[in-house]
A and B are shown apart, each in its own frame.
Chain A
Amino acid sequence: MSKATLERGINALKEQIDTPTAAFFSSCVNCGLCAHACLFYTETCDPAKTPIHKLEPMRRLWEQEYTLTGRIRKWLGLGKPITDDELEQWSELAYQNCTLCGRCSMVCPVGNDITYMIRKLREGLSAAGHAPDGLIGATTRAVKLGSPMGVTLKALEAQAKHVKEDSGLDIPFDVEGTEYMVLLSSMEIINYPEYLQAIAKIFDQAKKTWTISSEAFEATNSGIQIGTSDIAAELVQRVVDAAEKLKVQTVISPECGHAYMAIRWEGPNLIGRPFTFRVQHILEVLDELREQGLLQVEGVEDGRLTFHDPCQLVRRGGVIEQPRNLMRLVVDNFVEMKDHGKMNWCCGAGGGVSAIEEAEEVRLKAFNRKKKQLSKLHVDGLVTACANCRIQIEEGLEENDMDMPVIGLTEILANHLVEKETGGGSSA
C-alpha cells in the first residue's frame, strides 16, 4: 500500500523550512547569477533550470505559511496553492536537472545556499510521491537488498577472493577492534574492483588494521539522493550499528561523493546523535598516511594528468587539498582545470541523476561542461575519486569520441606502492 500524498509532501516541506531557508528566500534578487554557475543551465540555456527557480514551489510555501504578508494574501484568497501538477513539473527540475553539486551556492551574491534548499525540496517531493522511478527503485533496493544496485554480500565475497588470488592479501570481514572500517559503493564493487585491492595493499604496507562489515558494507545512501531523511537515517543506522558493534575507531567512506556526504555530514543529524567513531574519506586517510610517512610510493606517471573533484567531496565535503597532495606524490605533470577545487564543475551525474533513466539526455548534455574543460587542457588522462563521476566521465568521453583513461586516485597510488615482500601486486 503506498501512501504518498500531496498533504504529506507539503507537510514534509513545511517541516524542512528553517531560518536559513527563510533568510535565503528573503534575500534573492533574481539576478540570475546562479544560473551561470549551474551546468544544467549553461549547457542547455533553459532559464527554467536556474537554480533558484528550481525552488519556486518551496518559496511560495514559505511565503504563504511562514510570513505575515503571505498569510494575509492567502487569507484574502490571493495565494496560489501548491498543486500536484506543479510538484510533478518541479520534480523534473529538482531531480533530473540538479546534481546537488553546490556550485550555485558558491556564487550567489547574497549568499544563498541554494543546494541546501534543493536537498530540502526533495524531501517534500519524495513524500508527495513525485520522486523519479529510477531513484525509487534504487532506494527500495538499498533498503531491501542492502545495495541500490542489488549487489549482495556474495558478490563482494567473490571480489575479495579475486583480490586474494591476485595479491595474496586477505580481505578481513567482521574483525572487531580494528582501526578502520571500510565502506564500499556498489558501483565500485561491480565496476572498479581494483579499489578493494588497492585498499588492501595500502593498509598492508601501512600496517593498519581494518575490516569490512558483512552487515553494512554499502556506503551509497540513496535516501539522501531521493531526499527522504527517514530512509537515509535507516541506511546510516546500519553503518553506525556495524561500526559500534565492531568497535572500530574510524569508518572510511569510499571513493564516492554522496556516500561521504551521507555518512560524514548528514549521518549524525539523520540519526539524531553524534557518532562515537570518526568518519573519513579514503583520501583523507591516505593523505594522513602520507603525512605520517606510511604511504611509500615509487615511480611517477608519465602522462599529463588532471584531477576531477567530486562535488560532494570538495565543495560540499571539505576534502580539497588532500587529493592534490596525493596527486603530486605520483604525478609529475599534474595540471588543474581552470575551475577546480571548490569551484570545480560537476560531471553531471551526481545527486542521483545517474539513477534516473529519463535524465540520460540532459545528463550527457551537462557533461559538455566537463568536456569543454578537458579539451582545453590537453591531458592524457583524468584522475578522480568517485565511482559515479568516473562512470559518467567515461560514458561522456565515449559519447564525444574522446579517448582518455579515467582512473581512481586510490588505485593510482596503489599502483605506485613500494613493493613489499608480502605483496604480490604489480607496480608501474
Chain B
Amino acid sequence: MKNDPSLLEVLRQQGVSRRGFLKFCAATASLMALPPGMAPVIAKALEQAHRPSVIWLSFQECTGCTESLTRSHAPTIEGLIFDAISLDYHHTLQAASGSAAEEARMAAMKANKGEYLLVVDGSIPTADPGYSTIAGISNLEMLREVAADAAAIIAVGTCAAFGGLPHAKPNPTGAVAVSDIITDKPIINVSGCPPIPVVITGVLAHFLTFGTLPKLDHLGRPLAFYGNNIHDRCYRRPFYERGQFAESFDDEGAKKGWCLYKLGCKGPVTYNACATTKWNNGTSFPIESGHGCLGCSEPNFWDLGGFYNALSEPSVNTGNAAAFGLVAGAAVGAASGIMARKEKDNTSHAHQKVTVNDLKRGESQ
C-alpha cells in the first residue's frame, strides 16, 4: 500500500532502543525454541520487514482476545509490534465505521491479494447465519470471502481455534471453529481464553522472519508455546507428588500453596505457556494466584466436567446410566435367575429315585 516505514523505524519513533529491540528478538527466539544464533536473523528480518497487511475479523467473541493483546499494563514491545503491522481492518480498533470500514477491507484485500494475514477471533455460527453479521454480511460469508486470498490465517483465541464458549453445550448457535470451515489455507490456532499476547507476536515474528508458519502440534497450535503441559511446569507439582492438596480455596492447604488438583485444576491435560511466560508482564499465572487451571487452551474446556471438579471425576452425571444399568440388570437377572430356579425345580420333579439296581448302564447302551 503506502510506502510504510520499516518496523525498526516505527519502533525507533516509539522510543524503543536497539538494545531493547535485540533483547526482544533474543527472547522471541528462545520462546520459539529457536537456537540462540537465530536472534540476529530475526532482528535483521524484522528491521527490514515492511508492515504486513493484516485483516482482523471478529465473530462470535467477547473482545477478550483483543483486550489481552492490546491492553497490556504498560506499553510493551509486543504491543509495539502490533503498532508496527498494518492493521487494515479491525472492528474494535479501527477508526472507520460503516461502509467506509468495509471498503477499507475490500481495498486491503485487493492490494495485498494472496499476501495478507487473516486474524480471526470468535467462532462462526452455522445454525443460522443471521446470528452474527457485520455490515449485513454473515460471519460465514465474510470468513470465506476474506480467507480466499489470505496467505495464512491465525485463529486467535479458543473460540476461533476450537469453537470456545459459544461452542459449549448445548451450542445454540451451531458455533464452529475457523478450521471447520476453511480447509485449504494454513491455519495457526493460537488458543487460550484469552491467549497469551507474546504468542501472537511470536507467531508474527516467525512469519516475518522466515515467511513460514512455525511448527504446529496436532491441534494446529505453535509447538513452541503449546508443547508443554501446565502440570509439568507447575511450581505446585511437588505438592501433587506428595499428595498434598488444597481441599477448599480457603483451607490451610490453599494458604500453604498446595496443589489445586482436587479443586478442579485441569493443568495435567492443558498445553499452554502460562506456567513459563506468565501473564501481566510476567507477574503470575492463574495457579500462582490460587486458582486451578481451567484448561482454556484446550478444545471443549467449557465442557470438561466443571471447573471445580477434579480431572478424574466423571465429566457428566453418570447416575442415570448407573441406575438404569442396575435396574435393567436386576430385571434381567431376576428373569434369568427365576428361569434357572425353575429349571432346577424341574430336575427335582424329573428325579427318579436311584436304587442299587439303577447304578449300572442298561443293555440299551
B362 touches A5 (CB 8 A): yes
- What is the minimal beta-carbon distance from B58 to any residue of chain A, in angstroms? 58
Complex alpha-carbon distance, A226 and B350, angstroms: 21
Q: Separation in Å of the B336 CB from the closest CB of chain A?
A: 4
A131 and B359 contact, CB distance less than 8 A: yes
- Asked if A140 and B359 make an inter-chain contact with CB atoms under 8 angstroms apart, the answer reads yes
B351 in contact with A15 (CB, 8 Å): yes
Q: How far is the CA of A131 from the CA of B358 in the complex (A)?
A: 11
**B344→A17 contact, CB < 8 A:** yes
| Number of residues on chain A facing chain B (CB within 8 A) | 29
Q: B residues within 8 A CB of A144?
A: 356
- Tell whether, in the assembled complex, residue B354 and residue A231 are in contact, meaning their CB atoms are under 8 Å apart: yes
- In the assembled complex, which residues on chain B have CB atoms less than 8 Å from the CB atom of A5? 361-362
Instruction: Tell whether, in the assembled complex, residue B355 and residue A230 are in contact, meaning their CB atoms are under 8 Å apart.
Output: yes
Q: Are B343 and A129 in contact (CB under 8 A)?
A: no
A14 within 8 A of B: yes
| Structural contact, A139 and B359, CB atoms closer than 8 A | yes
- C-alpha spacing A11/B353, complex, angstroms: 12
Complex Cα–Cα for A166 and B353 (A)? 46
Nearest CB in chain A: distance from B160 CB, A:
51
Does B327 make an interface contact (CB < 8 A)?
A: no
Q: Say yes or no: is B360 at the interface (Cβ < 8 Å to chain A).
A: yes
Number of A-B contacts defined by CB within 8 Å: 77
Q: With an 8 A cutoff between CB atoms, is A12 at the interface?
A: yes
Known contacts A15-B344, A15-B348, A231-B355; is-contact A68 B332 (Cβ 8 Å): yes
Q: Are A66 and B361 in contact (CB under 8 A)?
A: no
Nearest-CB distance from B343 to chain A (Å)?
Answer: 6
| B356 lies within 8 A of A12 (CB) | no
Instruction: List, in ascending order, chain B residues with CB within 8 A of A12's CB.
Output: 347, 351, 354
Q: How far is the CB of A79 from chain B (nearest CB, A)?
A: 15
A residues at B contact (CB < 8 Å) = 1-5, 8, 11-12, 14-15, 17, 65-68, 71, 126-127, 129, 131, 136, 139-140, 143-144, 226, 228, 230-231
12 contacts between A and B (CB under 8 A): A3-B358, A4-B359, A4-B362, A5-B362, A11-B347, A15-B351, A127-B354, A129-B360, A129-B362, A140-B359, A230-B353, A230-B354
Instruction: Name B's A-contacting residues (CB within 8 A).
Output: 332-333, 336, 340, 343-344, 347-348, 350-363, 365
Beyond A2-B359, A136-B359, A226-B359, 19 additional pairs, beta carbon < 8 A: A1-B362, A3-B352, A3-B358, A4-B359, A5-B361, A8-B354, A11-B351, A12-B354, A15-B348, A65-B340, A66-B340, A66-B344, A129-B359, A129-B362, A139-B356, A143-B356, A144-B356, A230-B355, A231-B354
